[in-house]
Structure 1
Amino acid sequence: MIYTVTSVEQDAKQHRRYHIYMDGMPEPMLSVHEDLLIRHRLFKGLELSASAIADIQAEDNKYRAYAMAIHYLGFRPRTSKEIEWYLQRKEIEPEPIAYAIERLEQERLIDDEDYARRFAQSRLRTGGKGRLLIKQELKMRGVDKHTADAASRELERDTEQASADHAAAKKWRSMTGEIYDKRRKLTQFLLRRGFPMDVAMQAVKQVSADQGSTPDDEELGWLDN
């Protein structure tokens, strides 16, 4: 069956989208971005088969998914999984989602490995969190286990220790109670922040030394366990 374009109307809210009416029907048969309007010359009088209309609509669905992903990326860097989740929430079909993600990866607008490295380094320096919690946060953002593990392994131990020392000193100032209990609680706090045990122990020892109070052998034995 052949359809004829009888009118083209600009969308009232999205000014770069146009509604294509066929054969005088009251409802538009197509809704496309202006780029596709021009590319396919969708103007009054154009004749289109049903299969051509379906192809144009499928192309527009991919274009729309890509445009929505670009907009979403404008707020902050995203992982490929975050893009997928976002488009799913917008009720975009799987094929356009796959197209958008593949195109963004080809254009280097999303790169999970680079994202993971940058995120891990930033969290370590400014977030007061250790590699174990950072790795967990990466996975929550859709980064696969292998990539998250690699990013956390690349973190410099000296930088992590400095971050733990800073977090420990800040936390210590707000703690009350006996010295022994404060050290136990501080160690637990650092472990919850994702710092490895040896890093947490060293931070506690450093705070103690700064306070002129060194843990005794028995207490160090507890910290070593």
Structure 2
Amino acid sequence: MFKNPNQAPKNYTPGEALQKIAAFCAYQERTHREVADKLKSYGLDEDEAGEIIIRLGREKLLDEERYAQAYARGKHRTNGWGRRRIKLEMKAKGLSDYCIKSGLKELEGEEYYAKLKQLLEQRNAREKESHPLKRKMKLMAYLNQKGYESDLIQDALGELLSPED
């Protein structure tokens, strides 16, 4: 059912808001900012919202470190984003440096480089540019836009474009 945009939002009591926001947090990981914005839309003031956020944290329904880890894993696996892009997006969501570092630790290891190589191979197969230098530049630009580090891009390109012995 669609909401009427002219209808004023319903104001909830703190008890009602707690129940609704607990379900909101249980559905998927959330940031403190998302929860605070949602509570504000419920008509709660900052003090009431702050108390609810603290309670959700104590009850382990709201955990930004866990959110950052899930966000980094998900964006890397499904969108193919690199560490640089994920870090920028997490900063934009207002996550602390500690949480960002914790999330980026999820991307250490062989899986990260394997995803980079997979994206490179897929893009290389679709690339229409035939001039070798222009082709390489286009592939680099694509992976740079995805947020991968330049040194890793260079390594992967070296492996892909080196003549077979």
Q: TM-score, with normalisation over the residues of structure 2?
A: 0.81
- Aligned partner of 1:137 in structure 2 is 89
Percentage identity across aligned positions? 23
- Aligned partner of 2:54 in structure 1 is 102
Which of 206, 216, 224 is residue 159 of structure 2 equivalent to? Answer: 206
Matched, 1:79 2:31: yes
Aligned-pair CA distance for 1:123: 2.2
Matched, 1:156 2:108: yes
Over 6 Å off, 4+ runs: none
The residue type equivalent to 2:144 in the other structure is L
CA RMSD in angstroms comes to: 2.2
How far, CA to CA, are the matches of 1:173 and 1:144 in structure 2? Answer: 39
How far, CA to CA, are the matches of 1:163 and 1:194 in structure 2? Answer: 12
- Aligned partner of 1:32 in structure 2 is none
Aligned-pair CA distance for 1:168: 0.8
| More moved, 148-157 vs 102-111 | 148-157
How far, CA to CA, are the matches of 2:50 and 2:105 in structure 1? Answer: 30
| SS of the residue 2:107 aligns to | coil
The residue type equivalent to 1:93 in the other structure is D
| SS of the residue 1:77 aligns to | coil
How far, CA to CA, are the matches of 2:16 and 2:46 in structure 1? Answer: 13
Which of 105, 111, 135 is residue 182 of structure 1 equivalent to? Answer: 135
- Aligned partner of 1:126 in structure 2 is 78
Which of 146, 155, 162 is residue 98 of structure 2 equivalent to? Answer: 146
Larger Rg: 1
| SS of the residue 1:204 aligns to | helix
Structure 2: give runs of 5+ residues left out of the alignment. Answer: 1-11
Structure 1: give runs of 5+ residues left out of the alignment. Answer: 1-59, 215-225
- Aligned partner of 1:191 in structure 2 is 144
How far, CA to CA, are the matches of 1:148 and 1:155 in structure 2? Answer: 12
Count of aligned pairs between the two proteins: 153
Q: TM-score, with normalisation over the residues of structure 1?
A: 0.61
Aligned-pair CA distance for 1:65: 2.5
How far, CA to CA, are the matches of 1:117 and 1:74 in structure 2? Answer: 16
